[in-house]
């Protein structure tokens, strides 16, 4: 696992950019104990290791 610091945006965009799948936003929310997918302040997010990801969503090409 690794961490990133974000200043704003939403978990959909972050999941698409860092995980390659926007539908993984719910996994990010659960992992980081976040209820609102909109990020308004500086937030440190934990990202799962690539081996922990399961496909099946929107893929950024």
**pLDDT confidence of 18, banded at 50, 70, 90?**
very high
Alpha helices (H) along the chain: 11-14, 25-32
Tell me the backbone φ, ψ of residue 49, rounded to 5 degrees.
-65, 150
pTM score > 0.95 for this model? Answer: no
Of the pLDDT bands very low, low, confident and very high (cuts 50, 70, 90), residue 4 is very high
Average pLDDT of every residue of the chain: 86
19 neighbors 57 (Cβ within 8 angstroms): no
Domain ranges of the chain: 2-52
């Amino acid at each position: 696992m690794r961490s990133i610091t974000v200043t704003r945006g939403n978990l959909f965009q972050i999941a698409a950019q860092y995980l390659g799948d926007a539908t993984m936003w719910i996994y990010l929310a659960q992992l980081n104990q976040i209820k609102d997918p909109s990020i308004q302040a500086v937030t440190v997010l934990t990202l799962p290791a690539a081996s922990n990801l399961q496909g099946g969503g929107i893929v950024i090409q």
